[in-house]
Chain A
Amino acid sequence: MSGLYRISGKGRLTPAKTVAFTFDGKSYEGLEGDTLASALLANGVVLTARSFKYHRPRGTMTEGSEEPNSLIGVRRDTARQQPNVRATMQEIYDGFNAVSQNRWPSLAFDIGAVNSILSPLFVAGFYYKTFMWPRVAWEKIYEPNIRAAAGLGLSPTEQDPDHYANKFAYADVVIIGGGPAGISAALTAAKQGVSVIICDENAEFGGALLYETDVQIDGKSGYDWTQDALAQLGAMDNVTILPRTTAFGYYAQNMIGLCERITDHIAVPEADSPRERLWQIRAKKVIIAQGAIERHLVFANNDRPGIMMASAARSYLNKYGVAVGSKIGVYTACDSAYAAAFDLKEAGVDIPIIVDSRSDVDPALLERARELGLNVQTGHSVIDTTGKLRISGIKVAKNGQTANTKYDVDALLISGGWTPSLHLYSQSRAKPSWDGDVKRFLPENPVQDQVSVGACNGTNDLTELLSEAQDAALNAAKSIGVKKLKKVSAPKEVVTSYGHEGDHIGSSHGAGADDQVKAFVDFQHDVVANDIRLAVREGMRSIEHVKRFTTTGMATDQGKTSNLHGLAIAADGLGKEIPQVGLTTFRSPFTPVSFGTIVNHGAGDLFDPVRRTPMHNWAVEQGAVFEDVGQWKRGWYFPQAGEDMHASVNRECKTVRESAGVFDASTLGKIEVVGPDAAKFLDIIYTNAWSTLKVGRCRYGIMTHEDGFIFDDGVVGRLAEDRFHVTTTTGGAANVLNHMEDYLQTEFPELDVWLTSISEQWGVIGVQGPKARDIIAPLVEDIDLSTENMPHMSVREGRICGVPTRLFRMSFTGEMGYEINVPADYAESVLEAVWAEAQKHNACAYGTEAMHVLRAEKGYIIVGQETDGSITPHDAGLSWAVSKKKTDFVGIRGLMRDDLVAEGRKQLVGLKTKDPKVVLEEGAQIVADPNQPIPMKMLGHVTSSYWSENCGHSIALAIVEGGRSKMGETLYVPMIDRTIEVEVVDTVFVDKDGGRLNG
């Protein structure tokens, strides 16, 4: 038996297809196709949650995504634990396991319910007022406690084992909503041959036709009509049908975000299947057919479990065969609730009373009620309810009076009319307009290429709705450019027995300003009518203020059921008309979207590309420890057995100067600059001159921005009159190319020169040290390596190990050295050959750390370390690299600015600690007098600092105010625990005359 409240012969689920599930550890039986909400109701479980603030007992109120109460935790396994799932949207499967939230120790007995007793304290704005004073208590007492109590549901603690997918798509027409309007629009559009994507957040398409059993379209039931239409759509190649897919966001240029839930309803999903898929669709035309959401009524204690929307109860009966109670009262201001009462009565459920707050009710409805023997009280209201964990009775009074009659009920259906769903319309930046007659906002002024049809457009009459949808689809096809529209016939006969007329917004009788009752407006955030009135009394004038003060409409349901009530109560308090108070703007997402879906493929390994050089494996084999440099993995140091980082770096540095070292320099940016104006262009881009560079020679160059500050540096080789091989820093590669392209395209388009990134064409093997030539000589085939023929700073093209090379003789260590460029696919193989030779000379592999130390020993700067965007070439001691003859280059005017030529600028110097063993901290500040009062006058800071095994003492580079005039002076570096004495020295610590370069 799948629940005592299941009525045989009702609903469309198959009684034989039972599934076992648990809720709060208790086992139940449901049917395949049940949602958790329907299955619990079938089992008579009405209490499903505790409210957020007051911990009041709550039950399911709706049958859709607007559900404010039944938020539950789904637990598939220890890792897959999803909080705040709406029980109304979650389909169950065999073995499904869910728990309630926000209660301790149990749903039925919840300690937190004490908040409800203390509720006079917890009025709107309570937190703002109460926890303001004393100030110090905020951090220590209030915030930690509020944080502990805040939040709903428990986050999973393990890493999400699922994967999520993404799909970019383009469609002619995207239809949001698969009710009769959406389906009709889809059929019409699809028949015109345009591409159509139609989605619906529910498992089944059909919308209200899934439960409005009174509908007949051309002799078919509404349900059968949807099935026929879906079969037709399914057979068309140009149609994509997406069930369980929520259109959660409407963005600029008609981009729609969808979340497709793929496995959450399946007991054992396929191993490889993504859990959810994000769709990012650009649509030529969007047809919004979101439908309308039934409102509750605002009266005292309107939140007891068992109180629910009339349409939801009708849906549970007609879709799932579930009676939501055995003695059901109805309280309505809208005709549609009668249909629910009639269907339930006809199914054999006791309906003791229908209370209609309207005095003037459609006689046909009253007549039908009489036929069914139902007691209808018009002009009456429910002024209170009783019951603890489930509603047990209602008090009914004539409007305006307090004398009341009690009725015993175990469920109460309510309806305050229908709110057209404007969420996506509003997200598209369009403003709704007020329809005062029916008290609703309508989507009349779209700002993107979209149209709203059906109930979300205020069209409730089914005949009208179907033709409106058809017209919209035909217009869409026409606007997309379909020349010859195919005729699509409208249904000939549409029969509906009940309408949706009648509405009420704001509080009902018995919940007025003078009534001290809890009449809930926003269930998820526990906002009552009096909270909104208080906000108005406290001076909130705009609905935006009222919303933030009371938090009404700010819960995860975004006030789907509550917004109009809140607005009406605020307007009433302010004595203004509703449109003057204004509707808040809806934001995406329509319903919460998992982080997994938003991140989709970009998780784990695919979070960011990891770039490895073509010689990466060699470094791994040599035992390299890698560091991240941007997206690159670079060999940091190469420890041998028993070595820590310091020992390894010391050995690497020493070996390079004594013998040689081999280094992977592949990550350097490389740009091939080609064309007759190549030299002319480089003259503009760099501070130094290139026209004078001879073919076969290299030069170190500096680039500044217009402001005159160093931006990048590198060595450039001239391969031919019209061809240069430019190198950039690893991190600057992309920026430098962009910078050069920018100037070429916008400032100097007349130059005949082109730029091509060749960073990855070439693998670069650095061989540095006195033995460098001996190491590479046996491998190089047709290049004379002698200093006479190939001096320091020269480049030759030739062959190495049988493959082409661009061989640079250059140095970033101060030693004689080469950078062997070989086509990347050959780099590893060439390196292995080089390594074999290197080992014969007791050379080592060295990493970026040793490279940093070696260059610092020579005073070579690293852009971004010695420079910080405020250092000119002059500041860095590189005036020799700034041409005095050139009449133009990027930065020439910047460098002439008063500030940049003023005395006392910070300049690059070397620092030697008085105690040679002390290694300064990079970033440490430098002062002249350590005894001056704080804040001290800072002269500059340490930019690079290392232990130099080659020097036998620590070395540092720093930028210091007027540094070059302070040579030999003593300065101080104050640290937390001591002050370090330093001497200002030259930036070059090793081989001051540069003789080793030419060895």
Chain B
Amino acid sequence: MANTNQALRKSPLEGRLGGGAGVTITPADPMSRMSLRVKDKDVKTVGKALGLALPTKPKTSVVSSGKDAQVSALWIGPDEWLVLSGVDADLSGALGKIKPVHSAVDISQRNTAVLLEGPKALDLLQAGCPQNLNDDVFPIGACSRTIFGKAEVVIWRTDAQSYHIECWRSFSDYVFKFMVQAAKGL
């Protein structure tokens, strides 16, 4: 029997909106996410398969520049990257045929993301994140796995006043509420 029960997708922060003077808080659209683990010697090969050069410097990210769907790789640890792309991208597929041993795990729906934008975006982040996010140590493109309040997050600075914050889906309610609260009286 043909399946009439095609499941519908529902993002954890669907429909939420927040912000205040100087900052907007918006749930990001669904996207493809992959936790990628590669050994030092294979970084180049694996990066090539994804169409970019995997960043090897802590707290940095690389965004692919090709015609294909844009892929971003965020340095998370010495052998760990968070690879992000559009919702339809087949990230694991891109690595399906490569030789080097690696671990590619789909975490598209483990995480969700919140986008912060505006002149007060940094102030908002600093309400909950104890890491130094000032320009000199956290320029555009910088990223870091850190904490926001009591939740683990990955903070990725996508522009001068724009941040992409990844967190596990069950923490997103807490993170979003924290941001809405912190936006008051910045």
- Interface set of A (CB-CB < 8 Å, partner B): 163, 165-170, 195, 262, 270, 272-274, 280, 282, 601-602, 605-606, 608-614, 631-632, 672, 674-676, 752-754, 756-761, 778-779, 781, 800-803, 822-826, 828-830, 833
Contacts and interface: CB of A to CB of B under 8 A. Distances in A.
B171 A609 contact: yes
Contact of A801 (B6, B131, B134, B184): B6
Contacts of B9: 825-826, 829
Contacts of B65: none
Given A674-B103, A676-B101, A801-B7, A611 B171 contact: yes
Contacts of B3: 779, 781, 801-802
Nearest to B105: A756
Contact of B184 (A195, A274, A631, A829): A274
A606 B179 CA distance: 10
24 contacts: A168-B126, A168-B129, A273-B185, A601-B149, A601-B182, A605-B177, A608-B150, A609-B151, A609-B170, A609-B171, A610-B174, A614-B10, A674-B37, A674-B103, A674-B105, A675-B103, A758-B107, A759-B168, A801-B3, A802-B3, A802-B5, A803-B7, A824-B169, A826-B10
B105 A758 contact: yes
B64 interface: no
- 9 interchain residue pairs of minimum CB distance: A754-B103, A609-B174, A611-B170, A754-B37, A674-B103, A761-B110, A801-B7, A829-B7, A756-B105
B105 A824 contact: no
B178 A601 contact: yes
A802 B6 contact: yes
Contact of B123 (A167, A756, A760, A761): A167
Given A601-B127, A608-B150, A756-B35, A824 B181 contact: no
Interface string B97-125: 00001111111111100000000000100
A833 B7 contact: yes
Given A613-B170, A756-B105, A602 B149 contact: yes
Contacts of A823: 108-109
B18 interface: no
Nearest to A828: B10
A609 B169 CA distance: 12
A801 B1 CA distance: 12
B170 A760 contact: yes
A772 B22 CA distance: 53
Contacts of B10: 614, 825-826, 828-829
B149 A758 contact: no
Nearest to B79: A754
Given A166-B127, A609-B150, A833-B5, A825 B109 contact: yes
A167 B133 CA distance: 12
Q: Which size bracket describes the interface of B in this complex? A: 35 or more
Given A170-B132, A611-B170, A826-B9, A759 B127 contact: no
Contacts of A675: 101, 103
Contacts of B93: none
Contacts of A829: 7-10
Interface in B128-186: 128-132, 134, 149-151, 168-171, 173-174, 177-178, 181-182, 184-185
Contact of B20 (A163, A272, A614): A272
A166 B128 contact: yes
A752 B42 CA distance: 13
A195 B137 CA distance: 14
B12 interface: yes
A672 B131 CA distance: 29
B5 A612 contact: no
Given A195-B134, A829-B9, 19 more contacts: A165-B185, A166-B128, A167-B123, A168-B126, A168-B130, A168-B131, A270-B185, A274-B184, A280-B130, A602-B150, A609-B173, A632-B170, A752-B101, A757-B110, A760-B111, A760-B168, A761-B106, A761-B107, A824-B169
